[in-house]
Structure 1
């Protein structure tokens, strides 16, 4: 995985710079995201790892599956990845591209797990508080997990805020063990 990240970084950066120059960040995000999802598919993984297929056959298979979602530049990007045996790095390329895009747009994705359903008003307040704390526009994705007993767990990039009852009980338990 770390190997793919190292390989993926220059391709993601090049795609990002190209998308910036063409004012097409969202379009490229969609294209790379779709191609990454195709590569992550189990059947496509078998095809791309097959020693019986040439690079050209693998490239053609990818282009055939992705053709309706890629413009000419997106297809050229896949061809370059194929020529350099980098198609399998597409999920990491997409991840790094999205990070660069979020940094540029000063946005962040936060995953919120709540013990109960949050109202739209609660979600808006949470977005505002996180935005003021992080200095960026925040997009949240909320899931409900009744096992938390109460409270929230917020994950944004490498930051985790555990305000759940389950998390507090776990901390208390650790403290009492010492």
Structure 2
């Protein structure tokens, strides 16, 4: 996985810098996310891997499936296809999203709780995380009854486990020492 990220990083950086310089970050992010999702389909992966399909044909298939792509994105796809890197689209999209979030000083936060959180609680949590992370926070809330109580917060590589299940697991680990 690290190798794919290493290969994808220069392409993602180039796409990000182009989109930033042309004030098109949101449009590029949207199109790359769509392309990443479509490129993971089994049929398209076979097209990318097949030597029978030339780079132009691979790009044409993607353009046909993902109608409405900008000319700049189609040119970007052509470069990827020429270098046999279309399979990296999911990693490129992830890296692009990370670069965009860092540029905009925002972060996506996933809050998993045992029960549905009230809007006021979510708002206060968002404000507290925003102060701690020094970023604008976009909270996505889900429920998981296996947590028993409390919350599990994921913001990038930061994980805050305040769940009852997490505490019980720590207690069990400490007792086994």
**Secondary structure, in 3 states, of the residue corresponding to 1:139?**
strand
Matched, 1:112 2:127: no
Q: Counterparts of 1:84 and 1:49 in 2: how far apart (Å)?
A: 12
**CA distance in 2 between partners of 1:159 and 1:122 (Å):** 20
* Runs of 4+ deviating beyond 4 Å: none
Q: 2 CA distance for matches of 1:63 and 1:143? A: 34
TM-score, normalised to structure 2, is 0.96
Tell me the TM-score normalized by structure 1. Answer: 0.95
Q: How big is the shift at 1:54?
A: 2.3
SS at match of 1:16: helix
Structure-2 residue corresponding to 1:64? 64
Q: How does 1:20-99 map to 2 (within 5 A)?
A: 20-68=20-68, 70-99=69-98
Shift in Å at residue 38 of structure 1?
A: 0.9
Equivalent residues, number: 177
Shift of residue 62 of structure 1? Answer: 1.3
- Aligned-pair CA distance for 1:67: 2.7
Question: Which residue of structure 2 lines up, in the alignment, with residue 148 of structure 1?
Answer: 147
Over the residues paired in the alignment, what is the CA RMSD in angstroms? 1.1
Cα distance in 1 for partners of 2:160, 2:25 equals 30
Q: Please, which runs of 5 or more residues in structure 1 have no aligned partner? A: none
Deviation readout 1:38-73 (Å, 9 max, x if unpaired): 1112221122122332222222211211232x1111
Shift of 1:120: 1.0
Equivalent position of 1:7 in the other structure: 7
Which runs of 5 or more structure 2 residues have no equivalent in the other structure? none
